[in-house]
Amino acid sequence: MVELANDRVLRALLSLPVDKTPIWIMRQAGRYLPEYRKVRQQAGSFMKLCKTPELACEVTLQPLARFDLDAAIIFSDILTIPDAMGLELSIVEGKGPVFANTVRDEAAVNKLFVPDPETELKYVCDAIRLCRQELNNKVPLIGFSGSPWTIATYMVEGGTSKHFSTIKSMLYRSPELLHRLLDILTQSVTAYLNAQIAAGAQAIMIFDTWGSVLTAEYFRIFSLAYIQTIIENLTKMAEKRRVPVVVFIKGGGRWMEWIADCGCDAIGLDWTVQIAKAKRMVGERVALQGNLDPAVLYAEPEVIRQEAEKILESYGEGPGHVFNLGHGILPDVPPENVKVLVDAVHELSENYHQQDEDDDEETLEE
């Protein structure tokens, strides 16, 4: 097994004991950092940044140079797969992601193919390989993908959506066509994540940002079932360690019981969930990641510490918690406040973990 100087995140995601609660932050490399904005400008566009492994690696590591974070997450986007399928993604200032081509009818679905991750998406695998070298086993590197449903919303709508009218009318008018699209995406995401693991990703996160726009019944059929198929087909061990899988369904608090059964090791929670309640409901089955309201980072340092402590207290003693925000960090947050949060979580969480020598005997090997 490769020795990591800090493997708290990998241990906590598998509910193994740790000395302190680990923390990383969704979208930790991003616009709130002036050094990110500089590299992005240098790159010329968001996609150029993603597609240049040296630059993607540089921005991945930027937040780790500033803060004592317990993991890195590869800098990329969930929309690299449709871009690789020929939809041509651009990120437009003030508008978000926009596709040149959409997928709204049978002819468009027929044209789709499963991208080869070491060809069309090689730039992501290269960035992962480079990051692993640079990280030199200091902290683990997280790989990620969007869920088939969430990726499909962008492909069908053509970008960000308010009411998801186009994809929902597809769901109710041509469910078989939507299933075909989701099936191609499921194969693509599985191959992509396995390639990320082969390239060196040590944990995997699946983002289902828009699962909660579905009804409970259709969430299971059109989103969760596909996530489950992906997880069943992921590489379980790499470098003699388990590769934990986190599933984040924004707004999925009401479906925690179902999510806990999808084969994931941990559930990412948004800030609307009481973490104590989540632990009571599913804590025996999965670890939990989250779930500070991202807006807390606008507060004074003392308030940030208090709000962090509330979450630590709510989760209570024992392993199985990775601290994070309940969604991505907001672009106008002062970077100093992130340091306050990261240091507070490490300092305050020691009280919730037993400092027992015997714990070291439990390992991640199988």
Which stretches of the chain bind ligand 1CP, using CB under 6 A? 26-31, 40, 46, 73, 75, 77-79, 91, 96-97, 144, 146, 160, 207, 209, 250, 328
Nearer to ligand 1CP, 86 or 328 (CB): 328
**Closest distance of CB 276 from ligand 1CP, Å:** 24
Catalytic pick from 70, 77, 126, 208? 77
Q: Is 66 a catalytic residue?
A: no
- Minimum CB separation of residue 72 from ligand 1CP in Å reads 9
Rounded to 10°, the helix 225-232/175-199 angle is 30
**Cross-strand partners of 247:** 206, 267
Catalytic residue among 8, 11, 32, 40: 40
The CB-of-58 to ligand 1CP minimum distance in angstroms stands at 13
Between 17 and 30, CB nearer to ligand 1CP: 30
Nearest to ligand 1CP of 17, 159 (CB atom): 159
C-beta closer to ligand 1CP: residue 38 or 240: 38
User: 31, 66, 180, 254: which is the annotated catalytic residue?
Assistant: 31
Please confirm, yes or no, whether 8 is among the known catalytic residues: no
d(CA 62, CA 58): 6
Is 173 assigned a catalytic role? Answer: no
11 is catalytic: no
With tokens 């907001």, the residue in question is 330
Q: Which residue, 187 or 212, has its beta carbon nearer to ligand 1CP?
A: 212
User: Is 172 an annotated catalytic residue?
Assistant: no
Q: How near is the Cβ of 74 to ligand 1CP at its closest, in Å?
A: 7
Least Cβ distance, residue 361 to ligand 1CP (angstroms): 33
Q: Cα 327 to the chain's mean position, in Å?
A: 10
- Show which residues are catalytic: 27, 31, 40, 77, 154
